[in-house]
Amino acid sequence: MKIAVIGGGASGLTAAIYAKRTNPGARVTVFEGNRRVGKKLLSTGNGRCNLSNADISAARYISRDPARLRASLEGRGFDFAREMFRGLGVPLTLEDGRAYPRSMRAASVLDALRFECERLKVETVLEAKINETVHSSKVFRVGAGTFDRVCLACGGKAAPGQGTDGSGFDMARSLGHRVYEPYPALVQLRTEGGERDLKGIRVRAGARAVVRGEAVREETGEVQFTDYGLSGIPIMQLSSVFNGEMEVLLDLFPGEDFGAVVEALLSMSESVGDLALPDFMGGYFPKGITRRVCRGCALDTETPVNRLTVRDIKRFVQTAKALRFNVAGTNSWPDAQTTRGGVALSEVDPLTMESKIVRGLYFAGEILDVCGDCGGYNLHWAWVSGSRAGEAMAAPE
Ligand SMILES: Cc1cc2nc3c(=O)[nH]c(=O)nc-3n(C[C@H](O)[C@H](O)[C@H](O)COP(=O)(O)OP(=O)(O)OC[C@H]3O[C@@H](n4cnc5c(N)ncnc54)[C@H](O)[C@@H]3O)c2cc1C
């Protein structure tokens, strides 16, 4: 049996390994457009590779088909990733639920996948960008060869500099598959006019995405201000629900009750005399933020704190607990960590990853309409879908 895996990234290498383990007699060839396999893996998790999470569930992913996604994840949660990597000689460690290799080095993860491919005699063809996969008379033509089974594991469109230019979507479409419009996800948000005056400031905040008056998602963590808008992990998480229209409301006192904050500020204000508000608030956040909050509630920043009324303080806290930013868009593909949209799960068997349209065609990884949160969910999906596709496509007929 001849199997072609198109794309030598996280999911493609996994598919190749599981195919060979399932059927050592199968001839498995990985076609990779880059000069080396797994280039993107090296930059994951800031070079540490956050490869799974202790809390895997369909709720941590966006897909138009959560039921099929749930079926794929069933029985392949965190324990599956831990066992898979134990089998590759890579013990995992958890940090706030996020799983990393004990080495904290993405290179060790890629090495383990590469060594296993070598051991199993997976053939790897590098600098082999595939632009077309033709299916006729039960065989697939890929490059100059013909294959019985093909797995499209080309990733999405995020980080195109690492080889993912969306060509997998074109091949999926040409083979008759429905591809939901891909959008950049886990990406920074651009605000109307940008945030030049706050550029460089980082604050811990609650970030709430509001669409047409309704809160659709909330995350807490470090928010960064940039000349174009907002960044940081909570913002990247919110980007997955951006659909052309969104406000972000920042709570600069996350987890703190409105009344308690007002009380605390009132009692402190009694002892600080005539400090201006930006100086008074210096223990909470940088002056630029205080000035922005003052602008939001029409308070004069120069007013000495001991001249502020209780109403003024309440207005200030109210605004600081819901500081408003109009989102104009997201940054583009080069800045995105993943893709929202992709090959419709309704046309793919959730347990085998085989196409319901073309027999012998399989999918794995980001090419599918599955977009995970920050926290190891996207790589976890690559292992789950890659392993399922690999096992199924190598099974003898
Ligand atoms: C900077 C960054 C940091 C990230 N950090 C994390 C993290 O810490 N945790 C996490 O879970 N996720 C992270 N992700 C997301 C994660 O890396 C991806 O979701 C995951 O790699 C997808 O795996 P994949 O195999 O589907 O695609 P990829 O890993 O993108 O691999 C696809 C491969 O296919 C090749 N290819 C594409 N088209 C063709 C073609 N036509 N012919 C031949 N080869 C082709 C590409 O060159 C590439 O090597 C990060 C992403 C980025 C960009």
Q: Does ligand 1 lie within 6 Å of residue 34's CB atom?
A: yes
Question: Containing domain of residue 365, as a range?
Answer: 2-185+334-394
At what angle are helices 287-296 and 310-320 packed, to 10 degrees?
110
Q: What is the pLDDT of residues 14-34, one digit of tens each?
A: 999 999 999 999 999 999 999
- Confidence at residue 31, expressed as pLDDT on a 0 to 100 scale: 98
- Quick one: 128 and 231 in the same domain? no
Backbone angles phi, psi at 4, to 5 degrees: -110, 130
- Quick one: 162 and 245 in the same domain? no
Tokens standing for residue 112: 């383990």
At what angle are helices 106-119 and 10-22 packed, to 10 degrees?
30
- Quick one: 149 and 171 in the same domain? yes
- Quick one: 355 and 279 in the same domain? no
- Quick one: 103 and 232 in the same domain? no
- Confidence at residue 227, expressed as pLDDT on a 0 to 100 scale: 96
Q: Does ligand 1 lie within 6 Å of residue 182's CB atom?
A: no
At what angle are helices 310-320 and 258-269 packed, to 10 degrees?
130
Quote the CA–CA distance of 171 and 153 in Å, as a whole number.
11
Residue ending a domain, among 305, 331, 357, is 331
The closest of 328, 366, 375, 39 to 188, measured between CA atoms, is: 328
- Quick one: 196 and 164 in the same domain? no
Q: Does ligand 1 lie within 6 Å of residue 385's CB atom?
A: no
CB 146 within 8 A of CB 30: no
**DSSP-assigned letter for residue 188:** P
SS3 66: helix
Residue type, 382: A
Instruction: Quote the ligand 1 centre to 94 CA distance (angstroms).
Output: 22
Minimum CA distance residue for ligand 1 atom 53: 337
Number of independent structural domains in the chain? 2
CB 61 within 8 A of CB 374: no
Q: Does ligand 1 lie within 6 Å of residue 45's CB atom?
A: yes
- Quick one: 318 and 374 in the same domain? no
Quote the CA–CA distance of 219 and 236 in Å, as a whole number.
10
Q: What is the pLDDT of residues 357-395, one digit of tens each?
A: 999 999 999 999 999 999 999 999 999 999 999 999 999
Residue type, 111: D
- Confidence at residue 117, expressed as pLDDT on a 0 to 100 scale: 98
Instruction: Quote the ligand 1 centre to 339 CA distance (angstroms).
Output: 10
- Quick one: 215 and 177 in the same domain? no
- Confidence at residue 397, expressed as pLDDT on a 0 to 100 scale: 73
**CATH number, position 40:** 3.50.50.60
Residue ending a domain, among 311, 331, 351, is 331
45 CA closest ligand 1 atom index: 8
Instruction: Quote the ligand 1 centre to 145 CA distance (angstroms).
Output: 25
The answer, as to whether pTM is greater than 0.85, is yes
- Confidence at residue 48, expressed as pLDDT on a 0 to 100 scale: 97
- Quick one: 33 and 165 in the same domain? yes
- Quick one: 231 and 314 in the same domain? yes
- Quick one: 81 and 127 in the same domain? yes
Quote the CA–CA distance of 93 and 78 in Å, as a whole number.
12
Extract the residue ranges of the chain whose pLDDT is less than 70.
Answer: none
- Confidence at residue 82, expressed as pLDDT on a 0 to 100 scale: 98
DSSP H helical segments within 210-309, as ranges? 233-239, 258-269, 277-280, 287-296
* β-strand partners of 52: 99
Q: What is the pLDDT of residues 305-340, one digit of tens each?
A: 888 899 999 999 999 999 999 999 999 999 999 999
- Quick one: 276 and 385 in the same domain? no
Residue ending a domain, among 331, 355, 372, is 331
